[in-house]
Amino acid sequence: MQDHVGRMDLEATRHGLPWRRTATTRAAALACAVSLAGCSGVQSALDPAGGDALRIYWLTVIMTVGGALIFLLVTGLLLYAIFAPPERRAWLSGRRTIVVGGLAFPIVVLSGLLPYGLIVMRDTDVPMPGALQVEVVGEQYWWRVKYAAEGAKPEFSTANELVIPVGQPVTVTVTAADVIHSFWIPNLGGKVDMIPGRINRLSFTAERPGIYRGVCAEFCGDQHARMAFDVVALEPAAFEGWRAAQAKPARSPDLPFLARGRELFRAGGCGSCHAVRGTDTDSAFGPDLTHVGSRRTIGAGQFPNNVGTLAGWIANTQHIKPGVRMPSYGSFTGEDLRALAAYLESLK
């Protein structure tokens, strides 16, 4: 009996092994696919869309590959020193090994890496001449974005979206209104801390048009993980068109339904926190909503921007993103909520 069971186990193992091998191969392939999928996309430091991100990418590659090679070399030497026959490993036990491996090698490697790292830091940090000036303020849990006046082009504010021209350097001046946040667009550059009372700068250039995603890279409270923003890199002419449109006051409602939405916005107290330029609601406490309908997402990069998500957001803010400053406005009737959301969506 014992023998029989033993033989069955052996059979199962014999037949099971190829299956297990296939499963392992599949798992490895899946892991590779998943990790490689992380290499490209709208939020990936491994898919640089500009020179600054490319410099950081190469620094990462050199450090990672170099570190891995040195690790393998040291581990190989260690195993050799332990397991090789004494007469063959004799050459390792001497003053020379310590001088070469313990002093000369680290000095040469680190003396190369330090200036290299400092040069990358300098090149990705300096304000560029002719750069577009944008100020971004981190708030719990959203981004206030201000475009500075430039010649005849007036300044204006927006939120949770950074639109930039392709090929022109952008200097972003960052700070925070409440706690420390960190500004990071992985495809375009490095991270920079946003510290209350302090101004930091970051310059970068987008070299291909596209949509990227920026994130807060410093834990800043409950909704830190839901503090993102869209980065839209446009061709220069399209950027100028966007800029001119954003600087204008909000359009007036052209339908009674939308006019009703605007009235609800005013009567509901939305103006105590939000500004819609061109109307009498002008508080700068929360995000500027003058052209909120033109943004890709709402809730700091959380949901696609449409009437449905806007209505859901207004009615359930504290359920969707607990801890944000905006209370849930659950008392609107369905009809009123639709009018209000449609009005906001019409603010292109």
Least Å distance between CB 313 and ligand CUA? 19
For ligand CUA, give the closer residue by CB, 191 or 266: 191
Least Å distance between CB 141 and ligand CUA? 6
Least Å distance between CB 144 and ligand CUA? 12
Least Å distance between CB 318 and ligand CUA? 18
Least Å distance between CB 214 and ligand CUA? 11
For ligand CUA, give the closer residue by CB, 16 or 196: 196
For ligand CUA, give the closer residue by CB, 206 or 220: 220
For ligand CUA, give the closer residue by CB, 223 or 346: 223
Cis previous bond, 141, omega within 30:
yes
Least Å distance between CB 240 and ligand CUA? 31
For ligand CUA, give the closer residue by CB, 300 or 347: 300
Q: How many helices (H) and strands (E) does the chain have?
A: 8, 12
Least Å distance between CB 196 and ligand CUA? 12
Question: How far is 348 from 276, CA to CA, in rounded Å?
Answer: 12
Using alpha carbons only, how large is the chain's radius of gyration in Å?
A: 28
For ligand CUA, give the closer residue by CB, 219 or 285: 219
- Phi-psi sector, 269: left (phi>0), alpha (psi -120 to 50), beta: left
- Which run of H or of E encompasses 51? helix 51-83
For ligand CUA, give the closer residue by CB, 165 or 190: 190
C-beta of residue 246 within 8 angstroms of C-beta of residue 177: no
One-character DSSP codes across 197-249: T--EEEEEE--S-EEEEEEE-S--STTGGG-EEEEEEE-HHHHHHHHHHHHSP
Residues forming the site for ligand CUA (CB under 6 A): 138, 141, 181, 216, 218-220, 224, 227
One-character DSSP codes across 245-309: HHHSPPPPP-SHHHHHHHHHHHHTTGGGT-B-BTBS-B--SS---TTGGGSSEETTTTEE-SHHH
CA dihedral 13, 18, 21, 22 (to 10 degrees): -140
